[in-house]
Amino acid sequence: MSTKSPRTDPRVLRTRQLIRNAFIDLLQEIDLEKITVNRIAERATINRVTFYLHYRDIPDMMEKMADDMINAIVAIFEDVQRQSRVDFERFVLGSVLEHIAENSNFYKVLLASKRIPIFSDRLMQLMVDVISSRAENRDASLSGSVVSVPKDIAIWYGSSAFIGTIVFWLRNDMPYTPNFLANQLSLLFRLHQNTTSS
């Protein structure tokens, strides 16, 4: 999910992978509050002290994992952006949802399971940024809608709807294909994206 440029010691990669897997593993069995460094080390078959060589504590570990998640998604964004320019929104959305579906084990636990808001918070922030910048670009071209909602409210509304729907989708074991959901989302989104006032 993340690869450093100046070749990292394979032992480090191995250890981080073990910790990550152990953490996701444990989250499927017990609540976050009950997860300790002790248990993670035990499950990962590493020494407890080794954990502290990589992360300050468990919250720090989760933050770094969230960083990796965001980086992976941003990479998809840039990748799609490089390829095509037509029907961008729906295509990038479909790609991201496919990525989530492919790593559903990871996302189901870290994004959809309750009591771990860091990951969905990060995604939400990313979505706000994306929608905001896109809204700015469209700003000049559009004027005089029938209804006008303050721009920030519309951004809050759309971002929350997007992320929330994806979370529900994961929690319900992805009952729709990524592409179908992407279509529905862009359909719903377009209904209110043109109602903003600056």
Partner DNA sequence: AAACTAATAGACACTGTGTAGTATAATAAA
Partner DNA sequence: TTTATTATACTACACAGTGTCTATTAGTTT
Q: Which residues bind DNA (CB under 7 A)?
A: 7, 9-12, 14-15, 36-39, 45-50, 52-54, 56-58
Find out whether 68 and 1 touch, Cβ atoms under 8 Å: yes
> Using the rule CB under 8 A, is 188 a contact of a copy of itself?
yes
Cα 108 from Cα 110, distance rounded (Å)? 6
Distance between CA 10 and CA 156 in Å, rounded? Answer: 42
Binding flag, residue 11, a copy of itself (CB under 8 A): no
Site for a copy of itself in 21-80 (CB under 8 A): 31, 33, 58-59
Taking CB under 8 A as the binding criterion, the range among 4-12, 22-30, 80-88, 118-126 that sits at the site for a copy of itself is 118-126
Decide which of a copy of itself, DNA, none touches 53; Cβ closer than 5 to 8 Å per partner kind: DNA
Q: Which is nearer to DNA, 41 or 111 (CB)?
A: 41
174: left (phi over 0), alpha (psi -120 to 50) or beta: left
Residue number, 13 or 179, with CB nearest to a copy of itself: 179
Binding pattern to a copy of itself, positions 138-177, x when CB under 8 A?
---------x-xx-xxx-xxxxxxxxxx-xxx--x--xx-
CA atoms of 98 and 104, how far apart (whole Å): 9
User: Which H/E stretch holds residue 189?
Assistant: helix 178-192
Q: Could you tell me the smallest distance in angstroms from the CB atom of residue 51 to a copy of itself?
A: 16
Which residues have C-beta within 8 Å of that of residue 186, sequence separation ≥ 6? 89, 90, 93
